[in-house]
């Protein structure tokens, strides 16, 4: 205990790290977004005019007006830019931090074109539908693509330690240190903890040395959050335990700190809930966070079923040559069948036969129990063996690049699996599930999933379970598309596969 106090006092003497002026990188980033928006819309207008009218575009006027299409494009572009600004699509709290950025881009674009349609009907302006379709489609796709590209650029900068927001935390030592660990494990989050006010510094909680060395700790009651912000140069404050502060102190904090350019964030302690399921509501002038019900049912709805079947059929056509070559290689490289079918547990605990290209020697299942006993340790419901001797040389290659999973697209067509979902496990693994783990079985198992694109076999069971239950409870079709895209990157850079 005394050692912890001494180290905390020593940490408080560490010089403040060099940080950017509050909002500097955000202002520059928003300016880049605005310039890119203008360039994208200009390109969309120009390409629509050239494709639709060609060389006649300069003298072509909209029916019922004397406006040429180039002049009309300028007016439309300015209106689109104002719509993006008015809908908060360039709000510094949204860009690069939230999926709401894309939602606002889409909403602003639809509003601009909806208002445009009303104006055209009211003034009886006959405008080329082909031109409008080209402008809208090229412009919207360009806006979303460019913002995604900027996010990827910003992510790389943050991993290098640039464009980072310095943060001060307030709460118990346990709650604040949990946030410190999570942010330290995700350098692309864009947040770096520089100071902590904790009310139980003399506590017996053990802290990692590397985190202690980079964070300044202050005892609660000895200094205010304003003093900590001034001392550390923090640009944002996270209150980890708002109930311990009390309403008056919390009100003073969000009155004074934002005036100094410091953002105030309140941790709601809601585990595994996506931002899309959280809504702020008021009752008797009191703010409450309302949480939507989990989206188990939506994950089995007809849009996902159609998406799965059409996607699986398309991927089977795309990968048919790869599957044919793989089947021939498996047949020639080792004794045994080309395909391997194993019983797995699917949706609502119902068993089904999952199909893979055979990557192990014949009789490998009978050897599993002995290998697990030989490896020792408590595997829990995640029975994975590194350097598994049962895997053939070709099978090791197939597993590394997930080629052995391709026949599962047939399982998707049969309705036993989905393109995206928790990976199906065997009966003896499911037998070890607790109440939380059984939530994985609320949806169809997937060919790929959030677990697979977040570390694959390198993850512990607890971390894999957290990712799977998060997916199940917060399912969305857009989320499936993102996971499929991340799957491509995970296959190209197959870390953690064995």
CATH of domain 2-19+164-269: 3.40.50.1980
CA distance 392 to 404: 12
User: CB under 8 Å to 44, separation ≥6 — which residues?
Assistant: 134, 135, 138, 139, 142
**231-252 tens-digit pLDDT:** 888 888 988 877 777 777 778 8
Q: Which residue did the predictor score with more confidence, 142 or 93?
A: 142
Greater confidence, 42 or 222? Answer: 42
Whether 395 and 404 have beta carbons less than 8 Å apart is answered as yes
Q: Which two tokens stand for residue 296?
A: 């188990």
What's the whole-number mean pLDDT along residues 184-189?
Answer: 80
Between CA 198 and CA 174 the distance in angstroms is 9
d(CA 243, CA 239): 9
Q: 416 versus 2: which is more confidently predicted?
A: 416
pLDDT at 102 > cutoff 90: no
Report the percentage of the chain scoring pLDDT > 70.
85
Question: Which pLDDT belongs to residue 211?
Answer: 56
Domain ranges of the chain: 2-19+164-269, 24-159, 298-492
Task: Show Cβ contacts of residue 325 under 8 Å, excluding neighbours closer than 6 positions.
Answer: none
Interval 371-425: pLDDT, tens:
777 766 556 676 677 778 899 999 999 998 889 999 999 999 999 999 999 999 9
Whole-number mean pLDDT of the chain? Answer: 81
């Amino acid at each position: 205990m005394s050692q912890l106090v001494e180290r905390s006092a020593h940490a408080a003497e560490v010089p403040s790290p060099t940080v950017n002026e509050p909002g500097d990188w955000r202002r520059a980033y928003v300016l880049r977004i605005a310039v890119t928006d203008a360039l994208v819309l200009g390109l969309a207008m120009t390409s629509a005019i050239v494709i639709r009218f060609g060389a006649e575009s300069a003298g072509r006027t909209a029916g019922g007006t004397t406006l040429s299409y180039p002049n009309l494009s300028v007016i439309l572009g300015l209106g689109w830019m104002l719509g993006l600004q008015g809908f908060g699509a360039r709000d510094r709290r949204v860009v690069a931090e939230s999926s709401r950025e894309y939602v606002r881009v889409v909403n602003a674009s639809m509003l601009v074109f909806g208002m445009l349609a009303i104006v055209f009907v009211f003034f009886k302006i006959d405008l080329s539908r082909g031109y409008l379709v080209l402008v809208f489609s090229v412009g919207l796709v360009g806006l979303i693509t460019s913002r995604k590209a900027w996010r990827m650029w910003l992510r790389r900068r943050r991993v290098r330690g640039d464009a980072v927001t310095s943060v001060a935390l307030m709460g118990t030592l346990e709650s604040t240190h949990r946030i410190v660990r999570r942010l330290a494990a995700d350098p692309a989050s864009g947040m770096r903890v520089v100071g902590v006010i904790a009310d139980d510094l003399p506590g017996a909680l053990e802290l990692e040395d590397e985190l202690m060395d980079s964070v300044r700790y202050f005892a609660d009651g000895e200094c205010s959050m304003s003093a900590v912000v001034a001392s550390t140069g923090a640009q944002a404050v996270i209150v980890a335990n708002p109930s311990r502060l009390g309403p008056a102190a919390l009100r003073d904090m969000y009155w004074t700190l934002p005036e100094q350019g410091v953002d105030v964030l309140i941790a709601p302690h809601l585990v595994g809930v996506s931002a899309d399921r959280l809504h702020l509501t008021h009752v008797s002038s009191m703010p409450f966070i309302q949480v939507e019900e989990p989206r188990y049912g939506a994950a089995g709805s007809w849009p996902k079923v159609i998406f799965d079947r059409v996607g699986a059929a398309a991927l089977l056509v795309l990968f048919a040559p790869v599957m044919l070559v793989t089947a021939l290689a498996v047949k020639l490289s080792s004794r045994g069948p080309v395909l391997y079918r194993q019983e797995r547990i699917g949706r609502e605990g119902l068993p089904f036969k999952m199909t893979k290209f055979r990557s192990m020697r014949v009789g490998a299942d009978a050897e599993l129990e002995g290998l697990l006993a030989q490896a020792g340790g408590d595997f829990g419901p995640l029975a994975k063996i590194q350097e598994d001797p049962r895997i053939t040389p070709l099978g090791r290659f197939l597993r590394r690049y997930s080629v052995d999973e391709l026949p599962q697209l047939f399982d998707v067509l049969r309705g036993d699996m989905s393109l995206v979902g928790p990976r199906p496990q065997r009966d003896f693994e499911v037998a070890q599930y607790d109440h939380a783990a059984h939530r994985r079985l609320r949806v169809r198992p997937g060919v790929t999933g959030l677990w697979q694109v977040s570390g694959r076999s390198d993850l512990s069971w607890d971390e894999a379970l957290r990712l799977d239950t998060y997916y199940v409870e917060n399912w969305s079709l857009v989320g499936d598309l993102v996971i499929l895209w991340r799957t491509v990157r995970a296959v190209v850079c197959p870390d953690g596969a064995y």
